[in-house]
Amino acid sequence: MRFVLALYLALLPSLSLAVQPDELLADPKLEERAREISSELRCLVCQNQSIDDSDAGLARDLRLLVRERLKAGDSNIQVRDYLVERYGDFILLKPPFKNETLLLWLTPFAVLLVGGGALFAMAQRRRRDSEVEASLSETDEARLKTLLEQDGR
């Protein structure tokens, strides 16, 4: 059974069974923090899977490492920094905000602003155009006035 399992883990790193009973920390508070941190760390050998979801051997090692650091008294940020130091930004599923990722983080807002701005400008122009159409020339205005005055009399 073990052999089959090992073989299967080797063949299918993405088929996940994730966190196993023997990994859980006794302190539920600490365990909750471990889960929270793990869900934002990438299993380096998988496709966009967090170490919390993955059952690759490496993911298990990383989960154990996270729990070890937490037990040693690290804060969440310290644990994350420790792993980034070892594995680089690649391990963060939420990329840090820095020069290389400016474009990534700002694109959604830029598209929304530029798109919204363009729509607003277009609406303004349309309104101006329709006002121009609706407004009367000076001579028409004068004629209308005389007509109304005649009518009033």
Partner 1 sequence: MIVEIGHYALVLALALAIVQALVPLYGAIRRDGPLMAVAQPAAVVQFLLVALSFAALTHAYVMSDFSVVNVFENSHSLKPLIYKFSGVWGNHEGSMLLWVLILALFGATVALFSRGMPDDLRALVLAVQSWVSAAFLLFVLLTSNPFARLDPTPLEGRDLNPLLQDPGLAIHPPLLYIGYVGFSITFSFAAAALISGRIDAAWARYIRPWTLGAWIFLTLGIAMGSYWAYYTLGWGGFWFWDPVENASLMPWLAGTALLHSAAVMEKRDALKIWTIFLAILAFSLSLLGTFLVRSGVLTSVHSFASDPQRGVFILGILVFFIGGSLALFAVRASALKPGGIFAPVSREGALVLNNLLLTTSCATVFIGTLYPLALEAVTGEKISVGAPFFNLTFGPLFIPIILAMPFGQMLAWKRGDLLGAAQRLVLAVAIGVAGMVVLEAVRGGPVMPAILAGLALYLIVGSFVEIYGRLRGAKTLSNMISRALGLPRSAWGTALAHAGVGITLFGLAATGWGVERIVTVRPGEPVAVGPYEVVVRELAPRDGSNFKELVAHTEVREAGRVIAQMDPSRRSFTTRTMVRTEAGIVTLGAGGQIYMNIADVRVDGAMDLRLYWKPYVALIWLGCLIMSLGGLLSLSDRRLRIGIAQRASLRPQAAPAE
Cβ neighbors of 52 (< 8 A, separation 6 or more) are 18, 19, 35, 38, 39, 41, 63
Q: Closest separation between CB of residue 153 and partner 1, Å?
A: 37
The residues binding partner 1 (CB under 8 A) are 1-2, 4-5, 7-8, 11-12, 14-22, 24, 39-40, 42, 47-50, 53, 88-95, 100-101, 103-105, 107-108, 111-112, 115-116, 119, 123, 126, 130
Shortest distance (Å) from residue 7 CB to partner 1: 6
On the CB side of 92, how many CA atoms lie within 13 Å of its CA? 16
- Cβ–Cβ < 8 Å for 76, 38: no
| Beta carbons of 79 and 37 less than 8 angstroms apart | yes
Asked whether 55 and 6 are in contact (CB, 8 A), the reply is: no
Paired tokens of 92: 């963060």
Instruction: Between 70 and 91, name the residue whose CB sits nearer to partner 1.
Output: 91
**Nearer to partner 1 (CB atom), residue 12 or residue 142:** 12
Cβ nearer to partner 1, comparing 73 with 109: 109
Question: Taking the complex as a whole, how short is the minimal distance between the CB of residue 74 and partner 1, in angstroms?
Answer: 20
Residue corresponding to tokens 């009399």: 153
Q: How far is the CB of 42 from partner 1 (least distance, A)?
A: 4
Residue 97 or 148 with smaller CB distance to partner 1:
97
Closest to partner 1 by CB, 82 or 105: 105
State the minimum distance, in angstroms, from the CB of residue 53 to partner 1: 6
Do 95 and 104 touch, CB atoms closer than 8 A?
yes
Say if residues 58 and 46 touch (Cβ distance below 8 Å): no
